[in-house]
A and B are shown apart, each in its own frame.
Chain A
């Protein structure tokens, strides 16, 4: 019993080392914040479209598991993410909607014409009001909204092939299961 008592500092030290090891693992990024909106109803929005057609609204998304991607023509990581979005739409046929965050419509149109347009519909959020409602703190951000209009997941920063394989696609499969 006494011997165990003298082992206490060692055990405490090991616990500390374990904690540090966890915090240093490559996949952990303390800059990425948990969303306050997970499992809450998505904030309602009704945005003028970038390319004609109807408005992009939350009501219009209901009944399907949809991805909402905040992007902007001035956002460099959005370019990095772009091929992934194209892959999502072309290979996985995921309904992807875009919200053009604090951007000029002509700039957004030009970049989509140049790179390809993965979105079913793009709504414009010129003042970032919808972004504030979602708790966006930097583009790109991608939200998974389920059939009932509830936010199920947020991806901060560009989607990666790894995040797609390990997190997004399994989640979509789960949410789409009857």
Chain B
């Protein structure tokens, strides 16, 4: 039991494996932290669903090194990202920017939700109204008496 717990602790507490090798790491921890935070949002173009920080592909290694070179050369985060986007296109960004070409992607689900909510609302209201219009009128006194009489008859 203790063994299972220990294994679970290790598995659950370890974060996504990083493929960054010690040789690639920058001596300056602040710069290395910046490189890692940028790299986590850059797609490896070989594996396509892994970031370059996670991927073991050769190309991911090359881009990691390139990214670190740009930062050492004094690029800001935005400049370093732009440098790589210029070569590989926006597809390398794991988080696509909000711009006209991606409006559908970003706002589509929200718009769908609003349309769905509005149509449900309209539908519910219309149903409530038709219910009122077609609801049977209450029983008259004679009808009520007859009903009571019938019920008593079946009971006895």
A binds B: yes
Q: Which residues of A contact B58 (CB under 8 A)?
A: 102, 128
A177 within 8 A of partner (CB)? no
Check if B89 sits within 8 Å of A36, measured CB to CB. yes
Q: What separation, in Å, do the CA atoms of A33 and B103 have in the docked complex? A: 21
- The listed residue (B45, B63, B85, B86) touching A33 by CB distance below 8 A is B45
A134 within 8 A of partner (CB)? yes
Q: What separation, in Å, do the CA atoms of A138 and B86 have in the docked complex? A: 17
Q: Which residues of B contact A36 (CB under 8 A)?
A: 85-90
Chain B interface size band reads 10 to 19
Check if A132 sits within 8 Å of B91, measured CB to CB. no
Q: Which residues of B contact A132 (CB under 8 A)?
A: 62-63, 66, 87
Check if A135 sits within 8 Å of B62, measured CB to CB. no
Check if A137 sits within 8 Å of B85, measured CB to CB. no
B48 within 8 A of partner (CB)? yes
- B27 to chain A: closest CB distance in Å? 21
Q: What separation, in Å, do the CA atoms of A37 and B91 have in the docked complex? A: 13
A80 within 8 A of partner (CB)? no
A116 within 8 A of partner (CB)? no
- Secondary structure class of chain A's binding surface, majority of residues: loop
Chain B residue at smallest Cβ distance from A37: B87
Q: Which residues of B contact A34 (CB under 8 A)?
A: 89, 91
A35 within 8 A of partner (CB)? yes
B46 within 8 A of partner (CB)? yes
Chain A residue at smallest Cβ distance from B87: A135
Q: What separation, in Å, do the CA atoms of A134 and B86 have in the docked complex? A: 9
Check if A138 sits within 8 Å of B46, measured CB to CB. yes
Check if A137 sits within 8 Å of B89, measured CB to CB. no
Q: What separation, in Å, do the CA atoms of A177 and B85 have in the docked complex? A: 33
Q: Which residues from 95 to 136 on chain A have a C-beta closer than 8 Å to any C-beta of chain B?
A: 102, 128, 131-135
Q: Which residues of B contact A37 (CB under 8 A)?
A: 87
**Residues of chain B whose beta carbon lies under 8 Å from any beta carbon of chain A:** 45-46, 48, 58-59, 62-63, 66, 85-91
- A–B pairs, 18, beta carbons within 8 Å: A31-B48, A33-B45, A33-B91, A34-B91, A35-B89, A36-B86, A36-B88, A37-B87, A128-B62, A131-B62, A132-B87, A134-B87, A135-B89, A137-B46, A137-B59, A137-B88, A138-B45, A138-B59
**Residues of chain A whose beta carbon lies under 8 Å from any beta carbon of chain B:** 31, 33-37, 43, 102, 128, 131-135, 137-138
